[in-house]
A and B are shown apart, each in its own frame.
Chain A
């Protein structure tokens, strides 16, 4: 339907006048119907209502330009709009449509990421020290919450990152919505920064919030005091830092892939291939040739190595210093951000 079709003028009910049925008056279908089935008694004066000159004036729709004299808010409000658009889209309509499957998966991962929270609560409630020693807060469990390969880094977090970054920038190329951003006073930096932050915040909700809940569940259920908190808080902070590093790395690689694509599938699958593929490759080489050096090309291995070093768990990458992994992560992120910035700079307003 065209915009104009709905706006056709609707004529008002027309005025009527009585017309005598003279002998020579034409017999219309309406007159016959009224005579046969009319609701009156049949004593009327044989007149019928016929329209006089139809009125064409008066219509429901009138195109009227309305002015607006409001003030436009500054840069921070525009950036907040981008952030809000992406974040609120996960929870409600009217913002970025994330798709039901993605939202369901996020819910599943959120619940699954709370497994250690639940088990800590259970161990505290039933007072089972054995269960608590397996699930309670410790260096290994904090590390596992963020960097455990199975299931979190094999099934949860990379898949979440892949689903989130899949269309965030590529859809702007695909649908041409980049023009909507860049024909407004939005800078390329703000555009990328807000998209990056929104994707990172959704991951943060799943990783960092559940990590914090896990830590507080331990305090609540086990009645931990200040001494325990002071003792374990650096460990918790180190885990938070590892999680931030993981979120940043997955997001930057993912968005770089999204910026070179026009679809959702390629960025998502390529991110999974990079994270899981390089991990598997490094694992195979390590087992076959007893050389661990290849883990430096694996984002997950580098994150795990740095995480082990700063959280203080037993290192599993012991041939090289963890600073190599940190340098490798810096290089990976640098490259990803370079690709991202270059590609976003080339996004057009007039055509893609």
Chain B
């Protein structure tokens, strides 16, 4: 079978609930590997997940998941993906091993095989020795791990994890992130991870999708997005204003907050220009380092720019100044800077 380049593809995907448009002409291409699904509350993440699970009918447009049509092949899609819900989805009175086994049986697995796979899946998520305990006695981290085991039991090609690290302490959160990363790297499976925790998305995912008010706000490789907005941070002692003026005069993009300045790293010799300017105006640079914005910074920046006045991402992308901050490079499908 020829492997499609993208695990999820949508074209003008629209879903309306009466007058409310939850998804508005969404054009997405999600590649293999790990992808983060980002967006504030009400952005349309849940509707998007339900749509690609084939649970709700689209109002307009089309899409495929693993090459299957979301409008007509929902059952087959759900057989081939593993869904890890955000909220509790486990019976607290059942033992984890039987809960995971039952989730396999619901996919059509033979009970004996499902039990065998349940042991493997629970072992994989780190609950090997705890699998005969009732779920009600589990910690939040163990419940999340059990949900992941339920999603992994049939070795799906795509795992959709909805807020997988929700409510976890640092240790459990790290373990969950490592497990998902391991699933992608050693298991060679794809993960679509919806999360509010940018740090988690950054650690697991290579790609991201950002939804805002039902529209696609940004999409691409996290690495590219971050590289696109790379800056050099300097801490100045004496003559900061003179240095700022000199650097602006040299055509550098400067953001200043007191003695700390961030200069856009757009050209190879930016560092040399900064040093020369500092020497010319007699300012001391006490510290200089590459500043790479975290995904969280970028997300906040994007959201700030989108704001509530902006009706659509097109409004935002129409402005080159703002577009620089929100979109991936042009070759990644973003707007032109």
Interface membership of A181, Cβ < 8 A: yes
Say yes or no: B126 contacts A176, CB within 8 Å.
Answer: no
Flag whether A343 is at the interface (Cβ < 8 A).
no
Taken together as a complex, chains A and B put the C-alpha atoms of A6 and B129 apart, in Å, by 8
Pairwise interchain contact B169-A349, C-beta atoms closer than 8 A? no
Do B91 and A7 touch across chains, with their CB atoms under 8 A apart?
no
Q: B91 contacts A1, CB within 8 Å?
A: no
Contact status of A180 and B89, CB under 8 A, knowing A63-B182, A94-B95: yes
CB atoms of B88 and A175 under 8 A apart: yes
Beta-carbon contact of B85 and A65 below 8 Å: no
* Most chain B C-beta atoms within 10 Å of own C-beta, residue among A67, A74, A178: A67
Q: How far is the CA of A275 from the CA of B150 in the complex (A)?
A: 40
CB contacts (< 8 Å) of A140 on chain B: these are: none
Pick out which of these stretches binds chain A: B76-84, B213-221, B283-291: B76-84
Which of B108-116, B226-234, B294-302, B310-318 lies on the face that meets chain A?
A: B108-116
By a CB distance below 8 angstroms, the chain B residues around A77 are 105, 108, 110
Residue from A7, A68, A82, A84 in contact with B117 in the complex, judged by beta carbons closer than 8 Å: A68
Interface string of A160-184 (1 = CB under 8 A from B): 0000000000010001111111111
A2 contacts which chain B residues (CB < 8 A)?
A: 139, 141-142, 169, 171-172, 175
Is B206 on the interface with A (CB-CB < 8 A)?
no
Q: Check if B78 sits within 8 Å of A63, measured CB to CB.
A: no
CA distance A117 to B260 in the complex (A): 92
B112 to chain A, nearest CB (A): 11
Residues of A within 8 A of B75 (CB): 185, 187
Given A97-B94, A179-B83, also A4-B175 (CB < 8 A): yes
Is A85 a contact partner of B107 (Cβ separation < 8 A)? no
Pair B130/A1 contact, Cβ less than 8 Å: yes
| B126 in contact with A177 (CB, 8 Å) | no
Contact A3 B127 (CB under 8 A): yes
A139 in the interface (beta carbon within 8 A): no
Is the CB of A224 closer than 8 A to any CB of chain B?
A: no
Query: Which residues of chain A are near B86, meaning CB under 8 Å?
Result: 350-351
Task: Judge whether B108 and A72 touch: CB under 8 Å.
Answer: yes
Point out the residue from B50, B103, B129, B145 that lies within 8 Å of A184, measured CB to CB: B103
Whether the pair B113, A186 counts as a contact (CB closer than 8 A) is no
Is the pair A3, B89 in contact by a Cβ cutoff of 8 Å? Answer: no
In the assembly, what is the distance between CA of A178 and CA of B49, in Å? 16
Cβ proximity bits B321-332 to A, threshold 8 Å, 1 near / 0 not: 000000000000
Q: What are the 3 A-B residue pairs with the smallest beta carbon separation, nearest first? A: A3-B126, A65-B187, A81-B105
What are 14 A-B pairs at a CB distance below 8 A? A2-B171, A64-B124, A66-B124, A66-B155, A93-B95, A93-B98, A176-B87, A178-B89, A180-B103, A183-B53, A183-B78, A185-B78, A349-B85, A350-B85
A7-B126, A94-B101, A183-B85 are known; give 4 further A-B pairs, CB within 8 A.
A68-B154, A75-B108, A77-B110, A349-B55
